[in-house]
Amino acid sequence: MALLFAGALAYQGFHQVEHTIETVQLRVLGHDTARTLIGGLDFEWVHLGANVFLLWCLIAVAVGAGATTRARWREHARIGWWGLCAALTVQGYHVVEHLVRIVQYLASGGEYPPGTVTTVLDPVWFHFGVNLTVFVAMAAGFFGLGVHRDVLMAPPAGARGGTRTRMPRGAEIFKTSASGQIPPPGPESR
């Protein structure tokens, strides 16, 4: 699950770079259109698919890491737990927003869909903000749970044996909670 979380964070980081480029070009520089790194994929179906994919990754991370042990997570890794919860919540809304946009897109025969709150708010700034919130929340979850240490200390594929440095409490919870073998709290976790 640690590698899935790392991959999802990298994916969302790249997605945020795309929205940053778009926002700078359209709202700061005043261009009529934005040319992002993969701007040729700017279709409503691609946006929906990308957001559903990220939500599935976040759900898999939470379930695979033992979301039912949330009381222990809150006790030992509060920032990580709340970061992951915030990322799931905001990304869940983001998927709903894109589902509404798909329905509007189909109903209008392919016209630009306004979405829900983007009828009142600037859609470029709104999506920049939503994606930034998801990225920051994911990063808080990733680092707050200590998952980065597990990813960095993982032995190379195919390696045998070797020793590993003791992981911090948050990463232990992330790594072992799916099996139900959570170590008891120690003095270092208080």
Domain boundaries, the chain: 2-152+170-177
Q: What is the pLDDT of residue 119?
A: 79
- Please state the length of the chain: 190
How many Å apart are CA 143 and CA 146, to the nearest integer? Answer: 5
Place of tokens 């976040």: 58
How many Å apart are CA 61 and CA 49, to the nearest integer? Answer: 18
pLDDT (tens digit per residue) in 60-69: 998 877 665 5
65, 176 Cβ separation under 8 angstroms: no
Report the share of the chain in percent with pLDDT over 90: 41
18: left (phi over 0), alpha (psi -120 to 50) or beta: alpha
Write the CA distances from 150 to 84, 91, 182, integer angstroms: 17, 25, 16
Place of tokens 């099996």: 179
pLDDT (tens digit per residue) in 29-56: 999 888 877 766 667 888 899 999 999 9
More confident residue, 12 or 73: 12
Q: What is the pLDDT of residue 185?
A: 44
pLDDT (tens digit per residue) in 131-187: 999 999 999 999 988 888 777 776 666 666 554 444 444 555 455 444 444 444 444
- Read off the amino acid at residue 8: A
Run of H or E including 80 = helix 78-107
How many Å apart are CA 56 and CA 71, to the nearest integer? Answer: 23
